[in-house]
Amino acid sequence: MKESSNASTEPIGQNLIKLISNLCFSVFVFSVLVFTVVAITYQPPDPWLESAPALTRLFTQTENATFKDDKSMFNTGEDWQSSPFAPSVPPVSSITEEVIEKAEEKIEKSEEKIENSTVTERSDCDELRVVNCSDPRVLIAVERFNLKLFKSIVFLEYQTPVNGSKPNECDVAWRFRNKKEKSWRKYRDFRRFRFGYAENCTYKIVRGSGWHSGVNAKRLFRSRVNATRTVANAKVAPGIHDDEINDTLPSLGSEMNFRKGKYLYYSRGGDYCKGMNQYMWSFLCGLGEAMYLNRTFVMDLSVCLASTYNPSNKDEEGKDFRYYFDFEHLKEVASIVDEGEFLRDWKKWDRAHKRKVPIKKVVTHKMTPMQLRKDKSTIILRQFDAPEPENYWYRVCEGQAAKYVQRPWHALWKSKRLMNIVSEIGGQMDWDFDSVHVVRGEKAQNKELWPHLDSDTSPDALVTKLQGMIQPRRNLYVATNEPFYNYFDKLRSQYKVHLLDDYKELWSNTSEWYNETTLLNNGRPVEFDGYMRVAVDTEVFYRAKTRVETFYNLTTDCKDGINTC
């Protein structure tokens, strides 16, 4: 009986163990399956796209779905990459990192080469009394001098030195970038150096002249041919063009290329003539949707300058996108086509063929990008004919779409022409300066929202506060929206004060910027407007060794008014 009992109970225990094992294994398999599905389908929401309050924290507050512009700073993609308030955007592209790494490696090798360079000692140094600018030792002396003096600059390439104005002088040109800039764009300088010789018969620099002083080396920078240089009868000041800029319009090529393409076309909406922050937010929504749909974005290069930046207090239409943004970089990272070029090719096709181009018209922003993902039409035309705020481009990227359409902030950089002015200003101060950002204007007058701002940014208050932050006699760049030039005169007793208006020659009718923008504008001069002033002020401020902010250092008032800190 005992044996029979054991025989009957044993299978029950074994079955129970098997049942528990199978159950655990099923739970494990189900968990893995759920985790896999979530990992594949889940996209973490961009905090900037998730809600209106998130957007508020960056740009300014929204009111009736219309942005208020912060006119004191003008930030684009390269600024967000280095900002603690940066949105969730892709990091600097691998191409950028590769270029920067190669540049840094080249500089290290150059330093090593300079340090290891030796010269056979002679009993006298007569051969060095007349400087031979093509002697490799001349360039080695310049490289050593620059590496020691300019710590914030990465030197990318040097041209062969040429003769200066005197027998002991040489002019040297080079390309560089600032270490605080996240892009791979190159800038140029050319300086004059006076040479002597050291005890071991090596060249040494007795004196280095300032920014762009080596005029004989200037000609080594040659322009490349592009369509923007060929405007007929355009009378511009003599000068040299930046051969790093290529903002010609991309062409679709043949009719067949047009028909094979897939396009996303936004009609003009309520964003036109709104502030720059809203323009960027909406433009990047459209570009982001085009990338999500794997389509070419049809781009209107005409920008309307909002009235807040015009002395006339009126909106100005017909501004060129390329005045403010780096079009060459945009072409490299996104598939875009100029609206004018696109419409011409579209009309050509329709005239030449009985079968019209397939087009899908979308009349509401409530039709989501996800619903359009599988559409096969050649052209998706989004129309924004509804009353405000339903006709704003950025409405397309709200709600559920925010999880799928990512704004490509990395595609939007400031214009290289404006950045050349930034480099000119920084270069004239030998990249050795501090900066203070002084917000005044409408905010200083609004005592309800900013009760202390006016007094905290008064001349006396500025002198007192800056003395504890910046050493006396330093170069001090003041980035400000204060319209009165002499407002900061009291600071001049303590610092070498620089304001944007001290550099008016950089956009005068004899400047390179004037030449370039006049050619872009079909021979008509372009005004250096309020957007441009803020863009340049912002970038010079970012390149300072010590930066003093208004709402973090000068006043206890909140940036966006009372109770918003």
Quick check: 413 and 77 in contact, CB under 8 A?
yes
pLDDT of 520: 92
Report pLDDT for 48.
Answer: 30
Q: What is the pLDDT of residue 32?
A: 64
Say if strands 162-163 and 62-63 run parallel, antiparallel, or are unpaired.
Answer: unpaired
Tokens 């996240």 — which residue? Answer: 182
**Does the N-terminal peptide bond of residue 389 adopt cis geometry, omega within 30 degrees of 0?**
yes
CB 161 within 8 A of CB 139: yes
Q: Give the pLDDT confidence score for residue 237 in this predicted structure.
A: 47
- Would you list the DSSP string of 481-527? ----GGGGGGGGGTSEEE-GGGGGGGGSTTSHHHHHHHHHTTT----
- Written as six digits, the tokens of 403 are 């999880």
The partner residues of 435 in beta bridges, in order of sequence, read 477, 547
Cβ–Cβ under 8 Å, residues 429 and 210: no
- Predicted confidence at residue 257, as pLDDT, reads 79
Q: How many residues does the chain have?
A: 565
The full 3-state SS of 78-147, as one line of letters, equals HHHCCCCCCCCCCCCCHHHHHHHHHHHHHHHHHHHHHHHCCCCCCCCCHHHCCCCCCCHHHHHHHHHHHH
* 62, 299 Cβ separation under 8 angstroms: no
For residue 477, with 0-12 CB atoms within 10 Å meaning exposed, 13-18 middle and 19 or more buried, which class applies? buried
pLDDT at 312: 80
Q: Going residue by residue through the chain (565 aa), what tens digit of pLDDT does each one get?
A: 444 444 444 566 667 667 777 777 777 777 766 655 544 443 333 333 333 344 434 433 333 344 555 666 767 767 655 433 334 333 434 444 554 456 456 546 654 665 565 444 444 566 666 788 998 889 999 999 999 999 999 998 999 999 999 989 999 999 999 988 878 889 999 999 999 887 777 888 999 999 999 999 987 655 433 434 433 344 444 445 676 788 888 877 766 778 889 999 999 999 999 999 999 999 999 999 999 999 999 999 999 999 888 878 899 999 999 999 999 999 999 999 999 999 999 998 888 888 889 999 999 999 999 999 999 999 999 999 999 999 999 999 999 999 999 999 999 999 999 999 999 999 999 999 999 999 998 899 999 999 999 999 999 999 999 999 999 999 999 999 999 999 999 999 999 999 999 999 999 999 999 999 999 999 999 999 999 999 999 999 999 999 999 998 999 999 988 888 8
Distance CA 240, CA 519 (A): 13
pTM as predicted? 0.79
Q: Are 563 and 557 in contact (CB under 8 A)?
A: no
HSE-up of 256 (CA within 13 Å, CB side)? 0
Tokens read off for 32: 């893995």
The predicted structure's pLDDT at residue 426: 96
What pLDDT does residue 218 have?
Answer: 85
Residues whose CB falls within 8 Å of the CB of residue 239, separated by 6 or more in sequence, listed in order: 510, 511, 512, 515
| Residues 438/457, Cβ–Cβ less than 8 Å | yes
Residue among 242, 270, 241 at smallest CA distance from 66: 270
d(CA 399, CA 504): 46
Q: What is the DSSP string of 23-69?
A: HHHHHHHHHHHHHHHHHHH--PPPHHHH-HHHHHHHS--EETTEEPP
**What six digits make up the tokens of 490?**
């009291």
Q: Among candidates 342, 337, 340, 324, which has minimal Cα distance to 412? A: 324
Bridge partners of 62, per DSSP, are: 67
Residue whose C-alpha is closest to residue 545's, from 57, 153, 41, 133: 153
